[in-house]
Structure 1
């Protein structure tokens, strides 16, 4: 099961946080649909391994997304059909225990970088004639949850930014949407879900009683990056098994 192999043919798409988890799967799914993908991550080894999946279709940028060299490369693009702001972090703790460093880290990675990367990529997206910008949000961009004040704050910000930018860029035929997953099975979430109490909390909140897979998220991203969603902007696809419907 999958998209047509020509769905993204001829399109260049840049994906941040591409070395692992959701980002890695998104790169592969875009490649499978015919795209040329610029994969961005800090760990060069992860990107080199990923490039072997399709050497002629994957270009690797081993940069920190907040670094000057990354923005130099980004501003050097003359045309970009799609941008997926996938990189992000979380700092889980009661609000009273959150440090200034945690606050700054989450704001820098989950809000400021999304804004700055989108801003720098705008000329190339506009030049494509029909650009698509997808921001990785979360179900936590629509609800609240204990110990996640920083993450919820940042993802609510991503939702607001995406809606405002969608309206602003609509006359230039650039679409802006978000994908909002629930907890996804990755190497990062696996230790969390091995905690019986936390696992019960998550499953009790998801009516479908299952955890999302990286392919579930990647499929939504491919759809929003493609012309199948040509009339969709300023909205979110929730991959949450019904969490936010309750």
Structure 2
């Protein structure tokens, strides 16, 4: 089912827009009639992301960008407004993860994850936000995570970066709200993308993720993209400074098992209300 969220004709930039959730956001925006700027470090994937939109007659601008470069980021947003028009929205989806025990986490790994996920995010929202503040309107969506609110072994840099995203988002909501600019974070749990499939053991996805998620599965990228569309649209006109979890219920409780059907009670177990896992 599709809804008209009033995004047609609006100019929206998406960082990390050439793959994964970012790409799905790009496709959804284009389908809604928005003018889309796709920003990513992968030139080949950028071309692939923009080509179908262009072929269908949509307005798209594909720019090679490393968000860690403040000057290049500023130049990219100036180019977006020159080519597509005044910026109405931003989805800051660029992000990376590197896994290692904290005792083995190298400076290079730490700098990459913090650089892209937090410092690069700041450069991105700064470049977009100052234009929106000057114009008195705009909506920004940043990417937190379930790791914004809890830790996960082997993800020290990632968890630190995603907690920082939420703090930054809330600060900017306070600073920019009176200028008509809204900024919110989405908090996805594991989402069914090639990066997740290639990087996480299937047994973990089956035995841990599905078991501990009340909805019993990973998120579909479209479900996260649709949430971003809502936060960009006027339907969320009184929402700012929020971390909106898109996690199937993962963060709703700390002792979740069997998709929420393990009641952890000897009495209910004896009554046959549920049974223990094999």
TM range (shorter): over 0.9
Residue of structure 1 aligned with 2:77, choices 74, 79, 98:
74
**Counterparts in 2 of 1:198 and 1:9: CA distance versus 1, 3 Å:** closer
Q: Which moved more, 1:116-125 or 1:60-69?
A: 60-69
8 A contact 2:38–2:63 mirrored in 1: yes
1:209-220 paired onto structure 2 within 5 Å: 209-220=216-227
SS in 2 for 1:53: helix
Residue of structure 2 aligned with 1:175, choices 171, 182, 189:
182
Instruction: Give the RMSD, CA atoms, in angstroms.
Output: 1.6
Query: Which has the higher Rg, Structure 1 or Structure 2?
Result: 2
- Tell me which residue corresponds to 2:274: none
Q: What displacement does 1:49 show?
A: 1.7
- Tell me which residue corresponds to 1:17: 16
- Tell me which residue corresponds to 1:7: 6
- Tell me which residue corresponds to 2:271: none
TM-score w.r.t. the length of structure 1 is 0.94
- Tell me which residue corresponds to 1:222: 229
- Tell me which residue corresponds to 1:47: 46
Q: Distance in 2 between matches of 1:90 and 1:178?
A: 18
SS in 1 for 2:187: strand
Gaps of 5+ in 2: 254-278
Alignment: residue pair count:
245
Mapped pair 1:59 → 2:66: no
Q: What displacement does 1:63 show?
A: 2.3
- Tell me which residue corresponds to 1:152: 159
**Counterparts in 2 of 1:129 and 1:231: CA distance versus 1, 3 Å:** same
SS in 1 for 2:184: strand
Q: Distance in 2 between matches of 1:192 and 1:201?
A: 15
Moved over 6 A (4+): none
Gaps of 5+ in 1: none
Q: Distance in 2 between matches of 1:236 and 1:183?
A: 16
Q: Distance in 1 between matches of 2:154 and 2:193?
A: 20
Q: What displacement does 1:3 show?
A: 2.4
Q: Distance in 1 between matches of 2:78 and 2:59?
A: 21
8 A contact 1:192–1:198 mirrored in 2: no
1:188-203 paired onto structure 2 within 5 Å: 188-197=195-204, 199-203=206-210
8 A contact 2:36–2:60 mirrored in 1: yes
TM-score w.r.t. the length of structure 2 is 0.83
Q: Distance in 2 between matches of 1:153 and 1:70?
A: 23
- Tell me which residue corresponds to 1:37: 36
